[in-house]
Structure 1
Amino acid sequence: MKYFFVFKKLIPFFFLAVLFSCASKKDMIYYQDVDNLGTQEKSNSYEIKIQPDDLLMILVSAEDPEIAMPFNLAMANVASAARPDAVGQQSSLLYLVDAQGYIQFPILGKLKVSGLTRSDFLSKLQDQIGNYIKSPIVNLRIMNFKVSVQGEVTAPGTFAIVSERVTLVEALTLAKDLTVYGKRNNILVIREIDGVKSYNRVDITKVGFMNSPFYYLAQNDVVYVEPNQNKINGSAIGPSTSIIFSITSILVALATLIITTSK
């Protein structure tokens, strides 16, 4: 009988171990209220805005290439970073948006570009270049579009974005998703616009975040995933917790064996 009382005293430790390792469904599942939503209206197309320190590649073309040439930066021989001794490759020079949001454009001079979307700036360039060239074709691309993902994700890092836009979901996917310890209802998005930082919270367990201004990320956004309470508790208890649980499991098994053999 005394072994039975020993076993009873060990049972709470066993349930504590199970409870500590479990996570609530509401803390883990994404888009939990998606079935409560009806058909959504088509959302407006999203475009990022040009910011200071952006690198822009702008190419102007026309039916006669020689006419468009003065509106393009000169090509330069650039040696490969991996093989600096190799023969350089032809590479177009990039426009750096200065701290005041301007670039120096051939023929047209100083242009304000910060705060404009790609479409806005393209329209502006086509109108002004159109004073010199009939039906000019202008191609524009932001070359240093990147976002950073930190915290409780599988593969944190800074990711270069080759398309013109990226969603928060896509950025988290690039980081190979949240760990089981990631806090899904309080993700922080840090954004800087014209030198002013904003700190914004997003709950991806509710599908409504897709209508948030932070569903689409801007260049240089930082996404931080906080650790949940389980991770914080585990860090506070220390690495010896797993050892304690292992010893408890052994003691439970030993008590069970003693009780069984003593009958």
Structure 2
Amino acid sequence: MKKIVFYLFLIISLPSCISNKRITYLQNLSDSTAYKLDEFIPFADVDYKYVLQPFDIVQIDFASSDPELVEGFSFQRSQQMGGIGFGGGVGGGGGGSDPLYMNGFSIDEEGYVEVPKLGKIKIGGLTEDQAKDLVQEKINIFFKEEVYVRLRMAGIRYTTLGEFNSVGVKIIYKNRATIFDALATAGETSLLAKREKLFLIRQYGDGVKIHQINLNDRALLASPFYFIQPNDILYLEPMKIRQVGTADNLTSSLALFGGIFASVLLIVNLVTGGI
């Protein structure tokens, strides 16, 4: 009877075990792409640069030695933009924390942005630098004096779905952010996440592609997907253990299995005691 109890316990507990290999980041999983500690890992050479797309929000500022020259080219803002992301920090996308939504310039569905006095300018399909140069050309028509233009995205917006501790639209107030910046902003992954199978849905102008990323593999550091881009969607699948009961985390799952095992043990004791 003791053997029966032991095998029952083994069968019940096996599904609840998660090996460290499945939850440890940046392992050397491939001999061909093995990177030792302190070894220099170059960034991937990525040809594609993010281009501005419909419904993106950009910040456009004008500067001149004569403030009156540029006063009419900007909306009157009720508050300064200095409250956002000082020092290039990482921030979440909480409600009411993004004044650029109210004060920035939104690109319409045809790729145009409307700037006071300059009218509609088509910057959709352009990189930030190209869009900045185009707006500079437009404003140079009005002034012989030097008026400088600054144009940039209103942070890096991305979406997390699935086994993240915080899901939804997130914002990172940096010009460049890694996949680990994105994970940290989302409160990390849950223990039940398939970290070897992170799906990244990325927009490419006229369409999207789905890429699969292995967070456990150190080769990710040299991957073209090490840096996230605006409008990326990150989706993490749950492990199969999620299918057992309705447990929301590993602790609940273990408690569930413990309860089942205690019930089985009680039944076995009753049966053996009655024989």
| Coarse TM-score class (shorter-chain normalised) | 0.7 to 0.9
**Whole-Å separation in 2 of the counterparts to 1:123 and 1:21:** 57
Per the alignment, residue 113 of structure 1 pairs with 123
- 2:260 is the alignment partner of 1:244: yes
Per the alignment, residue 74 of structure 2 pairs with 73
**Whole-Å separation in 2 of the counterparts to 1:135 and 1:8:** 87
The amino acid across from 2:75 in the alignment is A
Extract unaligned runs of 5+ from structure 2: 80-100, 248-252
**Whole-Å separation in 1 of the counterparts to 2:53 and 2:222:** 23
Following superposition, the deviation at residue 52 of structure 1 comes to 0.7
Is the contact made by 1:52 and 1:101 (CA closer than 8 Å) also made in structure 2?
yes
- 2:134 is the alignment partner of 1:124: yes
Aligned residues: 236
What secondary structure is seen at the aligned counterpart in 2 of 1:246?
A: helix
Describe the superposition over 1:146-197 as per-residue Cα deviations: whole angstroms up to 9, x where unpaired: 2221211222232222223332222221222111210011111223344523
**Whole-Å separation in 1 of the counterparts to 2:9 and 2:130:** 63
- Greater shift after overlay, 135-144 or 185-194? 135-144
Is the contact made by 2:200 and 2:212 (CA closer than 8 Å) also made in structure 1?
yes
Choose the corresponding residue for 2:164, options 153, 157, 160.
Answer: 153
Per the alignment, residue 39 of structure 1 pairs with 40
**Whole-Å separation in 1 of the counterparts to 2:219 and 2:10:** 36
Per the alignment, residue 176 of structure 1 pairs with 187
What secondary structure is seen at the aligned counterpart in 1 of 2:203?
A: strand
**RMSD of aligned Cα (Å):** 3.4
Choose the corresponding residue for 1:20, options 15, 19, 22.
Answer: 15
**Whole-Å separation in 2 of the counterparts to 1:28 and 1:77:** 47
The amino acid across from 1:184 in the alignment is R
Choose the corresponding residue for 2:51, options 49, 52, 56.
Answer: 49
The amino acid across from 1:182 in the alignment is A
The alignment's TM-score, normalised by the length of structure 2, stands at 0.71
**Whole-Å separation in 2 of the counterparts to 1:42 and 1:165:** 13
Is the contact made by 1:149 and 1:157 (CA closer than 8 Å) also made in structure 2?
yes
Is the contact made by 1:126 and 1:138 (CA closer than 8 Å) also made in structure 2?
yes
Residues 196, 30 of structure 1: alpha-carbon distance in 2 compared, 3 angstrom cutoff: same
Describe the superposition over 1:187-211 as per-residue Cα deviations: whole angstroms up to 9, x where unpaired: 1122334452322211111122233
Choose the corresponding residue for 2:107, options 97, 101, 116.
Answer: 97
Structure 1 stretches (4+) deviating beyond 6 angstroms? 44-47
Is the contact made by 2:196 and 2:214 (CA closer than 8 Å) also made in structure 1?
yes
Per the alignment, residue 3 of structure 1 pairs with none
What secondary structure is seen at the aligned counterpart in 2 of 1:26?
A: helix
**Whole-Å separation in 2 of the counterparts to 1:43 and 1:194:** 21
Following superposition, the deviation at residue 67 of structure 1 comes to 1.9
Describe the superposition over 1:37-82 as per-residue Cα deviations: whole angstroms up to 9, x where unpaired: 2422356699643211112221101111122234x2331669xxxx
Choose the corresponding residue for 1:209, options 220, 223, 240.
Answer: 220
Is the contact made by 2:164 and 2:193 (CA closer than 8 Å) also made in structure 1?
yes
Residues 222, 242 of structure 1: alpha-carbon distance in 2 compared, 3 angstrom cutoff: farther
Choose the corresponding residue for 2:6, options 1, 7, 11.
Answer: 11
Extract unaligned runs of 5+ from structure 1: 1-5, 79-90, 259-263
Is the contact made by 1:48 and 1:164 (CA closer than 8 Å) also made in structure 2?
no
Is the contact made by 2:60 and 2:149 (CA closer than 8 Å) also made in structure 1?
yes
Is the contact made by 1:76 and 1:92 (CA closer than 8 Å) also made in structure 2?
no
**Whole-Å separation in 2 of the counterparts to 1:110 and 1:229:** 52
Describe the superposition over 1:78-115 as per-residue Cα deviations: whole angstroms up to 9, x where unpaired: 9xxxxxxxxxxxx9843221112121334444322123
Residues 110, 156 of structure 1: alpha-carbon distance in 2 compared, 3 angstrom cutoff: closer
Following superposition, the deviation at residue 233 of structure 1 comes to 4.8
Which is higher, the Rg of structure 1 or of structure 2? 1
The alignment's TM-score, normalised by the length of structure 1, stands at 0.74
- Greater shift after overlay, 153-162 or 40-49? 40-49
